Structure 1
Amino acid sequence: MQHYLIHQLAKKAQLPIDTVRFYEKKHLIIPSYRAENNYKYYDEATLKRLQFIKQCRGLDMSLAEIQQLIDLIKQPQQGCQVVDQMIEQHILQVEKNIAELISFQSQLQELRQSCSSNTTIDHCQILKNLGLSE
């Protein structure tokens, strides 16, 4: 069975070492064992868990959502409706975030159009529209 030191695990998972440490502090991963030299070693299951976490984070899932999924994995006989509901809630949140970002984009475009680049800061319409002019 393959075991990794934290820097090897991080490299294999393509994550910064600090990120691996953070996930360990959040109890999303745990070392397999601590050797006599006091180094922590991690196994293949931990690597797979890290890859799972990385993929979930790539989908903008929260650490709480990831922890829920990890907890559910430990109950293989439970129905997957819980997972379906979690993903549905996440989709709704992503849709809300997209709508907010589109709104931000429109507001920023309006601000950009209000400014003439040939003016000075004290006449900048962007700053005035943002309420920052003096």
Structure 2
Amino acid sequence: MKIGELAKQVGVTVETIRYYENEGLLPPALRNPANNYRRYDKGHLERLIFIRRCRTLAMTHSEIKVLLQARIQPDNSCETINELIDEHIHHVQARIAELTILETQLIELRNQCHAALTTRDCGILRELDHPTDELTEAPLVQSHVAGSQCKTHQSK
């Protein structure tokens, strides 16, 4: 099948398929010598479905590569897979805790302004002008979970 057909079947973009090929998650397709079009087979489809499922679980490319490698070694122990998932659960739990704290801070901030006032009198803007204890703590860094930020002493 052509790349557009594969993309449609899995629900991703053509660019995503090319990106996964470049990242080594999806093996390159064979080229049709007559027109140089990429030709994908059932193996590509199954692997792309697997990758997409992993991405819906917010797994990183390196985690997916470990799982893909495990798929081609069916007689090996799945201990590494269990450890990978346990570590991923830990990251998700840490992110949930961070988001809960963020939610509390935003609610407290929202409570600073209960009416539509002029921006000069807005309690939210006034509150944002004051530094907090969080500004003196460890700087934020990207966590392995997409879109999240962790304090450096929390992310490992």
TM-score, normalising length: structure 1: 0.91
CA contact (8 A) 1:61 1:90 kept: yes
- Give the Cα–Cα distance (whole angstroms) in 1 for the partners of residues 29 and 23 of structure 2: 16
Q: Can you give the 5+ residue segments of structure 2 that lack an aligned partner in the other structure?
A: 131-156
Instruction: Give the residue type in structure 2 aligned to 1:17.
Output: V
70-79 vs 105-114, which deviates more? Answer: 70-79
CA contact (8 A) 1:56 1:66 kept: yes
Query: Where does residue 7 of structure 2 map in the other structure?
Result: 10
Instruction: Give the residue type in structure 2 aligned to 1:35.
Output: N
Task: Measure how far apart 1:58 and its partner are.
Answer: 0.5
Instruction: Give the residue type in structure 2 aligned to 1:11.
Output: K
- Secondary structure of the residue aligned to 1:65 is helix
CA contact (8 A) 1:30 1:42 kept: no
Query: Where does residue 28 of structure 1 map in the other structure?
Result: 25
Query: Where does residue 104 of structure 2 map in the other structure?
Result: 106
122-131 vs 19-28, which deviates more? Answer: 122-131
What are the equivalent positions in structure 2 for 1:8-87 lying under 5 Å apart?
Answer: 8-36=5-33, 37-87=35-85
Equivalent residue pairs, number: 129
What are the equivalent positions in structure 2 for 1:111-130 lying under 5 Å apart?
Answer: 111-130=109-128
Instruction: Give the residue type in structure 1 aligned to 2:81.
Output: V
CA contact (8 A) 1:31 1:41 kept: no
- Give the Cα–Cα distance (whole angstroms) in 1 for the partners of residues 72 and 21 of structure 2: 18
TM-score, normalising length: structure 2: 0.78
Residues 8-43 of structure 1: per-residue CA shift (max 9 Å, x gap)? 000010111111111111111123410111111111
Runs of 4+ aligned structure 1 residues displaced above 3 Å come to none
- Give the Cα–Cα distance (whole angstroms) in 2 for the partners of residues 10 and 111 of structure 1: 43
Task: Measure how far apart 1:117 and its partner are.
Answer: 2.7
Q: Can you give the 5+ residue segments of structure 1 that lack an aligned partner in the other structure?
A: none
- Give the Cα–Cα distance (whole angstroms) in 1 for the partners of residues 110 and 91 of structure 2: 28
- Secondary structure of the residue aligned to 2:28 is coil
Residues 43-74 of structure 1: per-residue CA shift (max 9 Å, x gap)? 11111111101111101111110011111222
Match 1:96 to one of 90, 94, 97: 94
Q: Which has the larger share of helix?
A: 1
